[in-house]
Chains A and B, each alone.
Chain A
């Protein structure tokens, strides 16, 4: 079935280092969303990208949508302990009417 693949599954970084998670689809996406889930919490919407090649920033977070609208990335600059959690991408296929979540990337910050 239709899938949104996300890598890596886990990432350990030292506090202050950068972090990137990648999202790929074999099918063109009409949009991509990113969510963050803190340990013990629920997924919380971060951002939505719609346009080919779109780049959006939220403070230390940079989100990109690929030119072909088949991939996306989330980059965090200078990670902090508050960045700990699982980051999910979620895409909508052009012919579909619901979003498909990736498996998520779990980020651990080493002090």
Chain B
């Protein structure tokens, strides 16, 4: 089992650029979650999908953030345009169901300069 796979591991981009983060959940997991972690705010849930359908996007900061899950094995989180305050570690996690144990990916460390 390769676990939850995220790419890239690190991303440095200039303010105003579009950033796309990618996630491959564990095969068979029906729920996928995007989190953002910073020192100030801790671990924040941005959005989660169940069976590829977005269920709760109340944590998405603003319209600059969007997430898609076109199929059961792939999801993207896009920031357009990016801003320095978006700098954080973004984690993707998956689980068999929203209430069951989550498996996190290694994260993408995003730096917007």
Chain A residues within an 8 Å CB radius of B102: 33, 35, 43, 45, 90, 99
Interface status of A78 (Cβ within 8 A of chain B): no
Interface status of A103 (Cβ within 8 A of chain B): yes
Give the interface SS of chain A, mostly helix, strand, loop or mixed.
Answer: strand
The residue in chain A whose Cβ has the minimal distance to the Cβ of B48 is A98
| CB within 8 Å for A33 and B91 given contacts A97-B55, A98-B45, A104-B42 | no
Query: Are the CB atoms of A31 and B104 closer together than 8 Å?
Result: no
Chain A residues within an 8 Å CB radius of B48: 98
Interface status of B43 (Cβ within 8 A of chain A): yes
| CB within 8 Å for A98 and B42 given contacts A42-B105, A43-B91, A44-B104 | no
Task: Report the number of A-B residue pairs with Cβ-Cβ less than 8 Å.
Answer: 46
Cα distance A99–B45 in the bound complex, in angstroms: 10
Query: Are the CB atoms of B91 and A98 closer together than 8 Å?
Result: no
Chain A residues within an 8 Å CB radius of B43: 43, 88, 101, 103-104
Interface status of A48 (Cβ within 8 A of chain B): yes
- What 12 additional pairs, Cβ within 8 angstroms, besides A43-B91, A98-B48? A33-B102, A41-B106, A42-B105, A42-B107, A43-B43, A43-B93, A44-B104, A48-B101, A98-B55, A99-B102, A101-B45, A104-B43
